Structure formats: C-alpha cells, structure tokens
Amino acid sequence: DERREQREAEEEDELNERLEQRLNRNARMSELYEEFARVATEEQLARFEQYKRSKFPRAAMRRLMADVVGSSTERSAIILASIAKMFVGDLVESAVEAMAAAGETGPVRPHHLRNAHHKAKRAGIVPSSSLHRYTMFWQSNSGP
C-alpha cells in the first residue's frame, strides 16, 4: 500500500515536471513569436500566417510512407508531413530571396521554385536516386 502511494506520488511529480516543461516551451515560443512580429514586415507576417495554416493531408502522407517504406503509422505520417512542410517552406524562402536579389517583386512563380529546387539539389539538400528519375516540376513556358 505504501509502495503504491510512493509510485503514485512519483508519477504525479513526473507529470507536474512535464507540464512545467511544456509551459516553459510555450512561453519561449510566445516570446519568439512576439519578437518575430516586432521585426517582420507585413509581407513576412502574412506569409508566416499562411505557413501556419497550411498542411499536407495525413492520408496522402500515410500512402506515400507505405509506398516507400512498406508500412506506415499515424505518427510517421505526421512526421513526414512536418518534414515536407519544412522542405516546401525552405524552397519558397529560397525563391523569395532569389527574387529579392534579382530585384523582382510580386508572387513567386513556378520558375522561381524550380530554380530554388535545383539550387537545393546542387547543395545536396535533395537526395538523388539512381533507381528512378522523378521530375518535381513540370516545365512549361512559365518563366525565363
């Protein structure tokens, strides 16, 4: 009986510690967001809000994971969707930076994304496969 009470007390302490860690992380994220909101331009804030709202469908991520690995779980689909979202965010940011360097304004166009993808491939961020050739972007008369 005493042992059970001790175990329950330890579990409660562990739970309280986890909750405190989560609150600290949330507080830190709030501070970071407030700092970002102070220094970001309106365009960056709008892009960030769109980024936060966007997501990849979990069912599609599960199918992709099952096709590639052979099996899939909900957790692995969430992880794959998160990685895909970060990858797309990096490509878009690279495209926006290249546009700014070239003195271009307006929306990101397909050729900007294609160039960002090729740059990432050259940098080794996008792995190459000798088994199959996959074209990420369909090329048309969409830019220079």
pLDDT at site 131: 64
- Whole-number mean pLDDT of the chain? 85
Of residues 90, 91, 66, 88, the one with CA closest to residue 77: 66
pTM confidence score? 0.63
Instruction: State whether residue 37 is helix, strand or coil.
Output: helix
Q: What is the pLDDT of residues 92-108, one digit of tens each?
A: 999 999 999 999 988 99
Measured between alpha carbons, how far is 94 from 101 in angstroms, rounded to an integer?
11
3-state SS class at 133: coil
From residue 8, give the alpha-carbon distance in Å to each of 13, 16, 67. Answer: 9, 12, 44
Q: Rg of the Cα trace of the chain?
A: 22
Could you give the CA distance from residue 110 to residue 99 in angstroms, rounded to a whole number?
Answer: 12
Please tell me the distance from the alpha carbon of residue 14 to that of residue 127, in angstroms, as a whole number: 41
